[in-house]
């Protein structure tokens, strides 16, 4: 374990109701590519990514502890869920699948799930509550892979393919930011891309709904979804091989994903993550840059460089971004004379 306090950099953009700043709080983290981000509150932030590395801050990102999970230096921890400053889970994208748990702030890790099935590839993980969680993965035997826990991540069980949603040939989930999966009390769903883009919704049985975002190629589709409630949500994505392509990369729904509409002004290019900050204020990011909307996703404006993922504190107001660097969103209200 070692500590790191990064340099600071400000990227500013004026909006009608204030100035939005991405404050780079860690310029050179020891993780080449961060795709896992879990923000517990305004102080406790966890990140994960390549090299089997995990980072933790308990002071809002001002300083960090870095840990490498023993024996996992080749793992890319793209899925991360932190419960508090002590307990967190990391899950790699790739074969074989490793799922590790720490309960001492990353000092030690216990493997709680392993799967060496050929073709196994997990994309996202989240929790409904302190006990019940789910991880999703790409199709095996033409059905998506669903992994569940009912004891806070200590043990996990795979759903049989017969009760998992069926995939269309070439349909897959993107592990770009771990945000293609939603799990709340009243809304459990995940989004896909590739040959087809769909929203798969859990209920008495799985319901699969088309999302008319750019699709048809292995590099296209929905990369991230966010829901304000069971009905109102947003999907973003695009083509990661053509990340400046702006057309058909963002859609909004007001009926739980049954119908979708395009915003008036789309965000700029491929986006791998989107999140609600407030019902009106949203942020989306990707290799093409970071964009803000102040009118519920209808219009977007670029405010700075791109990241892989962004997340708002579950129990707080702060918003963090991560990729090659780690940033924190700052919002300064306008001064009116």
Q: Spell 212-249 as b/e; 16+ CB within 10 A means b.
A: ebbbeeebbbbbbbbbbebebbbbbbbbbeebebeebb
Rounded Cα gap, residues 185 and 233, in angstroms: 15
Q: Which of 112, 152, 154 is nearest to 131 (CA)?
A: 152
Would you say 223 and 286 are in contact if contact means Cβ atoms under 8 Å apart? yes
C-alpha torsion angle, residues 276, 135, 269, 267 (rounded to 10):
-10
* Domain chopping of the chain, boundaries: 2-333
Q: What is the pairing mode between strands 18-26 and 9-15?
A: antiparallel
Q: What is the 3-state secondary structure (H, E, C) of 143-198?
A: EEEEEEECCCCCCCEECCHHHCCECCCCEECCCCCCCCEEEECCEEEEECEECCCE
Polymer length in residues for the chain = 337
pLDDT, one tens digit per residue, over 85-134 is 999 999 999 999 999 999 999 999 999 999 999 999 999 999 999 999 99
Tally of CB atoms within 10 A around 152: 17
* Contacts of residue 72, Cβ cutoff 8 Å, sequence gap at least 6: 52, 92, 98, 100
Q: Which CATH architecture has domain 2-333?
A: 7 Propeller (2.130)
- One pLDDT digit (tens) per residue for the chain, 337 residues: 433 333 333 333 333 345 898 999 999 999 999 999 999 999 999 999 999 999 999 999 999 999 999 999 999 999 999 999 999 999 999 999 999 999 999 999 999 999 999 999 999 999 999 999 999 999 999 999 999 999 999 999 999 999 999 999 999 999 999 999 999 988 999 999 999 999 999 998 999 999 999 999 999 999 999 999 999 999 999 999 999 999 999 999 999 999 999 999 999 999 999 999 999 999 999 999 999 999 999 999 999 999 999 999 999 999 999 999 999 999 766 554 4
Residue 28, SS3 per DSSP: coil
Please report the sign of the dihedral spanned by the C-alpha atoms of residue 157, residue 162, residue 165, residue 169.
Answer: positive
Instruction: Return the structure tokens found at 127.
Output: 């929790």
Own/partner long-range contacts of 150-157 (Cβ < 8 Å, ≥24 apart): 152/83, 152/87, 153/81, 153/89, 153/99, 153/101, 153/112, 153/127, 154/101, 154/112, 155/112, 156/99, 156/112, 156/113
Rounded Cα gap, residues 337 and 333, in angstroms: 13
pLDDT, one tens digit per residue, over 249-287 is 999 999 999 999 999 999 999 999 999 999 999 999 999
Instruction: Return the structure tokens found at 99.
Output: 């799922």
- Tell me which DSSP letter residue 323 carries: S
Would you say 24 and 325 are in contact if contact means Cβ atoms under 8 Å apart? yes
């Amino acid at each position: 374990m070692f500590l790191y306090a990064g340099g600071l950099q400000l990227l500013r953009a004026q909006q009608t109701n204030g100035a939005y700043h991405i404050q780079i709080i860690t310029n050179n983290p020891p993780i080449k590519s961060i795709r896992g981000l879990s923000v517990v509150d305004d102080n406790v932030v966890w990140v994960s990514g390549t090299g089997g590395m995990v980072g933790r801050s308990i002071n809002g990102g001002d300083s960090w502890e870095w840990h490498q999970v023993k024996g996992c230096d080749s793992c890319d921890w793209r899925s991360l869920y932190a419960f508090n400053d002590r307990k967190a889970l990391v899950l790699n994208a790739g074969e074989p699948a490793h799922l590790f748990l720490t309960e001492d702030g990353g000092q030690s890790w216990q493997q709680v799930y392993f799967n060496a099935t050929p073709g196994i590839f997990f994309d996202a993980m989240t929790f409904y509550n302190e006990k019940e969680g789910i991880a999703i993965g790409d199709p095996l035997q033409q059905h998506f892979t669903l992994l569940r826990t009912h004891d806070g991540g200590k043990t996990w069980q795979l759903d049989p393919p017969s009760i998992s949603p069926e995939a269309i040939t070439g349909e897959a989930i993107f592990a770009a930011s771990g945000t293609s999966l939603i799990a709340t009390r009243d809304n459990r769903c995940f989004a896909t891309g590739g040959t087809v883009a769909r929203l798969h919704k859990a209920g008495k049985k799985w319901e699969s709904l088309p999302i008319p975002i750019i699709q048809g190629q292995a590099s296209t589709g929905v990369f991230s979804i966010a829901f304000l409630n069971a009905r109102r949500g947003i999907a973003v994505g695009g083509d990661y091989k053509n990340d400046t392509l702006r057309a058909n990369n963002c859609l909004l729904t007001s009926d739980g994903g049954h119908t979708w509409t395009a915003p008036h002004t789309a965000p700029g290019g491929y986006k791998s993550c989107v999140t609600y900050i407030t019902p009106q204020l949203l942020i989306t990011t990707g290799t093409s840059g970071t964009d803000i909307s102040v009118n519920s996703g209808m219009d977007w404006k670029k405010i700075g460089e791109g990241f892989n993922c962004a997340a708002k504190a579950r129990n707080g107001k702060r918003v963090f971004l991560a990729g090659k660097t780690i940033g924190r969103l700052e919002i300064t209200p306008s001064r009116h004379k």
